[in-house]
Structure 1
Amino acid sequence: MPDFIINTHDNVYIPAEDSYLLADNLEIEQGQSVLEIGTGSGIVAMYASKLTDSITVTDINFDACELARKNFEDNEIEGIEILFGNLFEPVENRKFDVILFNTPYLPTEEGEVLDDTINYAFDGGLNGRKVIDLFLDEVSNHLNDGGIVQMIQSSLSGNEETLQKFDEMGFIAEIKASEHFFFEDITLINAYKVI
């Protein structure tokens, strides 16, 4: 896998095991259009840029958008569209072949909420599904037929529930890869939108 220069920022999620679980398992073909929700440092998009030229990234954290821009520039990666905003808001009427999302999947109680925008990277609400369910509600509207969703979540935030939701939407979904940590499995779910 390529080595990239990765600048970091105190207010932006630093690439960790979950980032690389997604980056190492990308299913993207040349010419496909890719949307990454919550790009953070831009690391996953940088790996994706080795596979296709049509990439759009969004983030609800403006510092993340600026950091991703700097990382793309420092790695001489051109042509990635960076949009500021929540989930699919910045790409309202657009569709893509591949949608990537390292979700904020940590179950978070009121006292654990961080008082800064980096909180967006972690905070999954009480059951870890606050953002995941909003994402699932909209994802089909932005994915081309025959496209794929690749998303990271945790066993703490209900993998089976996610698989069931995809099933109800007519997708074929599976846990493609996982890594075990102290009290949870971080999982990569691939969901294919069958024609």
Structure 2
Amino acid sequence: MTFLVLPGVYAPQDDTALLAEALHEEAPSPGARVLDVGTGSGALALAAARRGAEVTAVDVSRRAVWTARLNAWLTRLPVRIRRGNLLGPVHDRTYDLILANPPYVPAPHARRGPRSRSRAWDAGHDGRLLLDRICRDAPPLLHSGGVLLLVQSALSDTGRSLQLLREAGLKAAVVRRRWIAFGPVLRSREEWLRRRGLLAASDEMEELVVIRAERVP
């Protein structure tokens, strides 16, 4: 599928593709209730809608909401798109599948908070500004047997995500990995990441992972 992406909206990239592969493997059935958190262009929400799922998409960015709505209109796929902060707009609902591709890049100037376009990738000093909230707030929104698919960088502590999800009562494991070349953002802060010990001197690629966490019946 081809997507329109308005300026300032996160365009589908390697992490989107990796999560789309996990979505394809999960194969939600027609009528399954799916939530796409931080939808951006709406690519993952529309992929789920093409399978016949009942999809809700959420993003805090007005431009992202407009972009996702435009893409849903262009593809004639039914997606309920809401503006809001992570799971806030849907805290009273439950889902069979939750997709999450949040900002996860550690940022050297975290005290100022992410601004403008950087909100699509900057996630605090350790990269966990939103990951911790998703790992805490998503499990209660899953039906029995429901699944969370979460993509993140290994730089932002995969083990911490697994720990939090397991403590919430979910069965969690890494189901997909992919090494990719540093993009412009990582290249711009490569020295800082090495000083912090998040990158070794020999590291020249970033590892992306998809975590699958299931609420076991």
Same fold, judged at TM 0.5 (above): yes
* Greater helix proportion: 2
In structure 1, how many angstroms separate the alpha carbons of the residues matched to 2:105 and 2:59?
18
In structure 1, how many angstroms separate the alpha carbons of the residues matched to 2:118 and 2:84?
15
Offset of residue 124 of structure 1:
1.3
> How many equivalent residue pairs?
190
Q: What does the per-residue CA deviation read over 1:42-97, in whole Å, with 9 as the maximum and x for residues that have no partner?
A: 111111112233000000001000000111111121x2100000011111211111
- 1:113 and 1:119 in contact (8 A); partners too: no
In structure 1, how many angstroms separate the alpha carbons of the residues matched to 2:94 and 2:104?
24
Q: What does the per-residue CA deviation read over 1:14-67, in whole Å, with 9 as the maximum and x for residues that have no partner?
A: 110100111122112222100000000011111111223300000000100000
2:94 is aligned with 1:95: yes
2:2 is aligned with 1:24: no
Alignment of 1:8-157 (within 5 A): 8-26=5-23, 27=26, 28-77=28-77, 79-110=78-109, 115-116=115-116, 118-157=117-156
1:169 is aligned to 168
- 2:136 and 2:165 in contact (8 A); partners too: no
Q: Name the SS for the 1:99 alignment partner.
A: strand
Offset of residue 135 of structure 1:
1.1
- 1:5 and 1:75 in contact (8 A); partners too: no
Question: Could you tell which deviates more after superposition, 134-143 or 61-70?
Answer: 134-143
1:156 aligned partner, one-letter code: L
2:176 is aligned with 1:180: no
Offset of residue 114 of structure 1:
5.4
2:208 is aligned with 1:190: no
Question: Could you tell which deviates more after superposition, 171-180 or 104-113?
Answer: 104-113
Question: Could you tell which deviates more after superposition, 81-90 or 46-55?
Answer: 46-55
In structure 2, how many angstroms separate the alpha carbons of the residues matched to 1:82 and 1:124?
23
Divergent runs of 4+, >4 A: 111-114
1:29 aligned partner, one-letter code: S
Question: TM-score normalised to the size of structure 2?
Answer: 0.83
- 1:176 and 1:187 in contact (8 A); partners too: yes
Q: Name the SS for the 2:130 alignment partner.
A: helix
Q: Which runs of 5+ in 2 are unaligned?
A: 181-203
Offset of residue 113 of structure 1:
6.1
- 1:5 and 1:74 in contact (8 A); partners too: no
